[in-house]
Structure 1
């Protein structure tokens, strides 16, 4: 099959998703059409993909809504796809590509061959005004009239989409390869609580900081944030170590030496960083948002406010054996639901169903 992937944002979790998916399906021909207007596009990214992947630049694509530029981006995408012979599948990634791509695929008569994966759909964003979120909802509804199957990254993202009256939605859980590093056994009285990701509104560093402040008088509790971003200044509690962006091996070492993964996210599709933590057996404490709530079977480890998060951490402090039990549970849930080969196989089956 010749599978065309279209994405405006060639960075972050969506980029990692595409690397893993295409590498896991090496017998198919993949063409990646990608936006070039993001500063955080990884350097030398092509070496991360198999040789069965080729690339086409989408020079006019950009993240924000700008009608004139979006019309130019739509026309450029139309011309790019029109020149590609024998397209079997069009797979659109994230909201901007999903909006413009569904219009283009309709114009080309390819709607029945089109898949759209939102990777945390735009109207879940809480870093924009309610008015703008309503515009995002309208845009998603409008684009859905042009066809294409929506494939959410998690069941809760699927449900959030369907709540807006949008149909033809299914879901395939995100999946990753388990980290090859082993979680270290903690024989001390200290507990390290870690989070990984961009220090941005989505990840809610203020809440992470407020939770850490509740343990400021306990020298045995340390918080670590692996990542950097525009809201780094909100991580002011003296018991937080913010590493900035670090090498992959260093990051994995931090995870291996941690005891609990804490997510304070406001919204997600299905977070790959939490999956990585679960793959090595880190117990997780997660904010109760779309994406996060799919990752735990015991909802007692989800929280809606600071008080509940602090209560869960204190429960772990008083019941160290629970850390061992939940470590095993994290691995069990990961292996059952979120392995890369399972995700790739389900996408392959979906591709085949649309190919025939």
Structure 2
């Protein structure tokens, strides 16, 4: 009997490595032949083949056209039963290629797309709606199953009947065993804030630095760990230098010991402009840490203001005030921490894998 086949696509290997290995294993354990297409040469555990495809960043580049042709050829040769695609450009090219192949082949390949946060959102720029919304509307016709990971995106997809079937799933799942709460008192000398995110404009670390500057001027001693790499590193370094924050802020780069860093953290802050359902926040919840986050999609799915943290506008003074409140109120920090330990269980990897299994292996005959 011929084995069924599944293809996973995403922009880069790191996306597959960080978020999708449990789902590759799930298909492998069900007897599927599993293929992966992303930029990089990693052959992932439980996969049977890896295609190194550079999806590029410019949708009008020759590279994108070549990637589209390569994807089509891979699909024609393998006649997949299921394709699950992730990330913006990779998902556009994957669905366009699958559309073309599905028109010609007798067997219909089921196409699943997980939207890790639409680029158009409530309160977003008109340009983002003009550019991205029509693309998603068009491709929705060729998407069998659309996975949404936050309430705002799900509600929008429901209103506009995007894709044949739509599901709200609480993210990609977090291994809570790797982010167990620390069973000892944290450092009581330097109040430590951590923010785990790529250093870019969307993650908006500059807002946190502005708040640190305000708190330092008020005489507070605190430490800030910015964990991650990205295009905005030089901008942040310049701000840190110009505002004499080198004794307060550390740019730690990409780290594999995030759990250990959170063990010596008192507060996690996130200042993004746009999110899907941020794993960094779920990891902090699992560690039993209080949170201060900006009021954006994804953040508000996880943090309820005054219940398990604070939700703030994009105002450095307000952010500094909420940080100051928590610096001076240990019982409130502990109250938020207890609530977060309870909330984190909703996003445990086994729970999400079980939910995705129900979607993957749903019998629609």
> What TM-score do you get using the length of structure 1 for normalisation?
0.85
The offset of 1:351, in angstroms, is 0.7
Q: Given the alignment, which residue of 155, 158, 161 partners 1:159?
A: 155
Q: Given the alignment, which residue of 104, 107, 111 partners 1:114?
A: 111
Conservation of the 8 A alpha-carbon contact between 1:157 and 1:291: no
- Alignment of 1:228 onto 2:229: yes
Q: Secondary structure at the match of 1:242?
A: strand
What residue is the counterpart of 1:190 in the other structure? 190
C-alpha distance in 2, partners of 1:93/1:30?
19
Give the paired residue count: 341
What residue is the counterpart of 1:96 in the other structure? 89
What residue is the counterpart of 1:347 in the other structure? 356
- Alignment of 1:2 onto 2:2: no
- Which is bigger in relative contact order (C-alpha 8 A, separation at least 6)? 1
Output aligned runs, 1:55-66, within 5 Å. 55-59=49-53, 61-66=55-60
Deviations for 1:38-91, whole angstroms, at most 9, x for unmatched residues?
xxx5xx743xx43x3123325353232116543332222111011114x33211
Conservation of the 8 A alpha-carbon contact between 1:112 and 1:354: no
Distance 1:260 1:164, change over 3 A: farther
Distance 1:345 1:70, change over 3 A: same
Output aligned runs, 1:1-356, within 5 Å. 2-12=5-15, 15-23=17-25, 26-28=28-30, 29=32, 31-36=34-39, 41=40, 45-46=42-43, 49-50=44-45, 52-59=46-53, 61-66=55-60, 68-85=62-79, 87-109=80-102, 113-123=110-120, 130-131=126-127, 133-162=129-158, 166=162, 168-174=165-171, 175-178=173-176, 179-183=178-182, 184-186=184-186, 188-217=188-217, 218-232=219-233, 233-235=235-237, 236=240, 237=243, 238=245, 239-246=248-255, 248-249=256-257, 251-298=258-305, 301-306=310-315, 307-335=317-345, 337-353=346-362
C-alpha distance in 2, partners of 1:9/1:354?
31
> Is the radius of gyration larger for structure 1 or structure 2?
2
Distance 1:226 1:79, change over 3 A: same
The offset of 1:164, in angstroms, is 6.3
| Unaligned runs of at least 5 residues, structure 1 | none
Q: Return 97-106 or 255-264, whichever deviates more.
A: 97-106
> What TM-score do you get using the length of structure 2 for normalisation?
0.83
Conservation of the 8 A alpha-carbon contact between 1:286 and 1:292: yes
C-alpha distance in 2, partners of 1:78/1:328?
50
The offset of 1:192, in angstroms, is 0.9
C-alpha distance in 2, partners of 1:151/1:98?
12
Distance 1:25 1:84, change over 3 A: closer
Distance 1:113 1:55, change over 3 A: same
Distance 1:27 1:288, change over 3 A: same
Q: Secondary structure at the match of 2:361?
A: helix
Q: Secondary structure at the match of 2:216?
A: coil
Conservation of the 8 A alpha-carbon contact between 1:198 and 1:229: yes
The offset of 1:348, in angstroms, is 0.7
Conservation of the 8 A alpha-carbon contact between 2:35 and 2:48: yes
Conservation of the 8 A alpha-carbon contact between 1:63 and 1:96: yes
- What's the RMSD between the two structures over aligned residues? 2.8
Q: Return 63-72 or 189-198, whichever deviates more.
A: 63-72
The offset of 1:189, in angstroms, is 4.9
Q: Secondary structure at the match of 1:108?
A: helix
Deviations for 1:120-150, whole angstroms, at most 9, x for unmatched residues?
2233599x98535522211111111223221
